[in-house]
Amino acid sequence: QVQLQESGPGLVKPSQTLSLTCTVSGGSISSGGYYWTWIRQHPGKGLEWIGYISYSGNTYHNPSLQSRVTISGDTSKNQFSLKLSSVTAADTAVYYCARVQSGGFGDVWGQGTTVTVSS
């Protein structure tokens, strides 16, 4: 059974870079057909698709985040990571990693990690 677990600092200062890692167990991130995805949820709000890295290493990020997003994978550790630069208070959210089927729906999610941007 595939499980995902987010890790990273819970507090980031404005203008710095938010860095999170998702560790995958029970399955390989290089398995065909899956997109390893980051999604966030602002406090009391809905869900926002950040981006993904595919099983083959292709990446995509939401244009709304401009060029601040970098998503990478480490197959040796079976992890994928999110870096979000130049953060502001608007980036305060719960960040989820998820396994997304090739169709585009997320069938396995991590528990989420809360990141607060504050000085």
Partner 1 sequence: DIVMTQSPDSLAVSLGERATINCKSSQSVLYSSNNKNHLAWYQQKPGQPPKLLIYWASTRESGVPDRFSGSGSGTDFTLTISSLQAEDVAVYYCQQYYTTPYTFGQGTKLEIK
27 or 112: CB nearest partner 1 = 112
DSSP code, position 33 = T
3 or 19: CB nearest partner 1 = 3
Q: What number of chain residues touch partner 1 (CB under 8 A)?
A: 20
Q: Is 20 in contact with 38 (CB distance < 8 Å)?
A: yes
11 or 47: CB nearest partner 1 = 47
| Binding status of residue 62 toward partner 1 by CB under 8 A | yes
- For the CB of residue 11, give the shortest distance to partner 1 in the complex, in Å: 20
Number of C-beta neighbours around residue 33 at 10 A: 11
* Contacting partner 1 within 18-37 (CB under 8 A): none
Residue 111 to residues 58, 59, 96, Cα–Cα distance (Å): 25, 23, 7
